[in-house]
Amino acid sequence: MHVDMDAFFVSVELRERPDLVGKKVIVGHPLGRSVVLSASYEARAVGVRSAMPMATALRLCPTAVVIEPRHQLYYQVSAQVMEVFNSITDTVEQLSVDEAFLDIRGALRRLGTPLEIGALIRSRISAEIGITASVGIAASKFVAKVASTRCKPNGMLLIEKEGTVAYLHTLPVEALWGVGVKTREVLARLGIFTVADVAATPVASLQKALGSTGPALHALSWGIDPRPVSTVRAEKSIGAEETFAQDTYDDEILTRELLRLSHRVAARLRLANLSGRTLALKIKYTDFSTITRSKTLGAGTDSAAQIYAGAVALLLALGTRPQSVRLIGVRIDQLESVDSAPLQFSLDPREDNNRSTEVVGDAIAARFGSAKIVPARLLKPRDSP
């Protein structure tokens, strides 16, 4: 079973803005060179897509309501979704904040048929969390993912094992995992436009054209995907980055953004009960050249104050910048569970106080949604009277 939330970020926002239900809504930063993070299906109907430049999206959909993202809230709702999944089966493979594979074989005797289990999941997510989900059910992970994609939004589709190949062969070639724009162009030059065309093409020909991807696509075209649902999915890193509306040399702007990103990363770490021992700073210049600098910390941290201090030190160590900065980002690597590797707190009481304030902020956001505690430096100035 593949369960995927529908327009996740937008759906979470509409819980508090029911007046916007049925309207064109985009989640993302409205200015500059930011991108669309999520779009309602009404906005998608006119061509708006995730990862599309916001400027392009607003040209396509000038009447859209744009909502600033609230990442910490989305991760909290994601945790609630995963709790529902884990109450159904112990075998859950989380793919992202809003989707997962579930092996439901062990739940059949307890909860009923696959369709009944899918209906239960959808009803609980709607009743308990206030958003909608689409459910694909099949004999393999790939086909279950195809099914959930084909029944969006707010639908459910069961592809029986015996009918898998027949169903797949009705689909366009881009339904196969790994077929993006470039691969589709290569296949088109070979006269391959559908999954059925891939299935009818010799493996040797596909391998010659696509390398190791060729045999994998051929197997998928026949519904062959033996991978089990894996419950082990350790995060390798947690990070956040931002593209500026205008490229900048200004240290005040750069460090202020580092402060905001540090708080976002730290909140995600604490929500996942993780700490990290390696801090990385990412800078992208006007010409799109990118540099990364990192440092290993003395102990694991989930503190925004410690992350920010380390990020600023890395920024200052770069010295004079050769160009203005287009993008800045912060990342924490070498993650480990706080339970297995407790945090080492500083002897400086101010650092402990900072983290305590952040934890209080987490609790406030969890209880009141949009409410949160942020450093005064991140508050938007009031308009003059």
Q: What is the pLDDT of residues 223-270, one digit of tens each?
A: 999 999 988 665 678 999 988 878 999 999 999 999 999 999 998 888
Residue 4 annotated as part of some ligand binding site: yes
Contact 132, 126 (CB under 8 A): yes
What confidence score (pLDDT) does residue 378 get?
A: 73
Class of domain 164-221: mainly alpha
Q: Give me 202's structure tokens.
A: 């010799």
Distance CA 173, CA 155 (A): 23
Residue 358 annotated among the catalytic residues of the structure: no
pTM, two decimal places: 0.69
Could you tell me the sign of the dihedral formed by the alpha carbons of 49, 51, 57, 60, in that order?
negative
**What is the β-pairing status of strands 92-96 and 237-248?**
unpaired
Distance CA 52, CA 61 (A): 12
Contact 168, 182 (CB under 8 A): no
DSSP label at residue 270: H
Q: Give me 298's structure tokens.
A: 């003395």
Distance CA 228, CA 150 (A): 22
Tens-place pLDDT, residues 335-383:
887 665 555 444 444 555 566 666 666 666 655 554 556 676 776 655 4
- Find the helix or strand (DSSP H, E) in which 99 lies: strand 99-102
Strand partners, 296: 278
User: Which residues in the chain are classed under CATH 3.40.1170.60?
Assistant: 2-70
pLDDT at 162 over 80: yes
Could you tell me the sign of the dihedral formed by the alpha carbons of 227, 232, 238, 242, in that order?
positive
Tens-place pLDDT, residues 294-308:
998 877 888 899 999
User: Which residues in the chain are classed under CATH 3.30.1490.100?
Assistant: 237-374
334: left (phi over 0), alpha (psi -120 to 50) or beta: left
SS3 348: coil
User: Which of 380, 79, 37 lies closest to 242, judged by CA?
Assistant: 37
Buried-exposed string 103-119: b where 16+ CB fall within 10 A, e elsewhere: bbeebeeeeeebeebbe
Q: Which of 43-52, 107-116, 145-154, 359-368 is predicted with the least confidence, judged by mean pLDDT?
A: 359-368
Number of H helices, E strands in the chain: 15, 12
User: Which of 276, 284, 293, 273 lies closest to 238, judged by CA?
Assistant: 276
pLDDT at 161 over 70: yes
Assign a CATH topology to domain 237-374. Answer: Dna Ligase; domain 1 (3.30.1490)
DSSP label at residue 371: -
**What is the β-pairing status of strands 156-158 and 133-137?**
parallel
Average pLDDT on 163-180 reads 94
Distance CA 243, CA 34 (A): 6
What sections of 155-277 are H helices per DSSP? 164-168, 181-189, 195-200, 203-210, 213-221, 251-271
Residue 348 annotated as part of some ligand binding site: no
| CA distance between the termini of the chain | 56
User: Which of 139, 144, 41, 164 lies closest to 100, judged by CA?
Assistant: 144
Q: Which of 165-169, 307-311, 371-375 is predicted with the least confidence, judged by mean pLDDT?
A: 371-375
Contact 102, 83 (CB under 8 A): no
Distance CA 58, CA 220 (A): 37
Share of residues in the chain with pLDDT > 70 (%): 87
User: Which residues in the chain are classed under CATH 1.10.150.20?
Assistant: 164-221
Its CATH architecture, for the domain 2-70, is 3-Layer(aba) Sandwich (3.40)
Share of residues in the chain with pLDDT > 90 (%): 66
Average pLDDT on 40-54 reads 94
Instruction: Count Cβ atoms below 10 Å from residue 328 Cβ, excluding itself.
Output: 23
Distance CA 64, CA 52 (A): 14
Distance CA 56, CA 367 (A): 36
Annotated catalytic residue, options 13, 42, 93, 99: 99
Q: Give me 223's structure tokens.
A: 């519904």
Contact 91, 108 (CB under 8 A): no
Q: Give me 150's structure tokens.
A: 């084909």
Distance CA 302, CA 218 (A): 44
User: Which of 108, 127, 125 lies closest to 117, judged by CA?
Assistant: 108
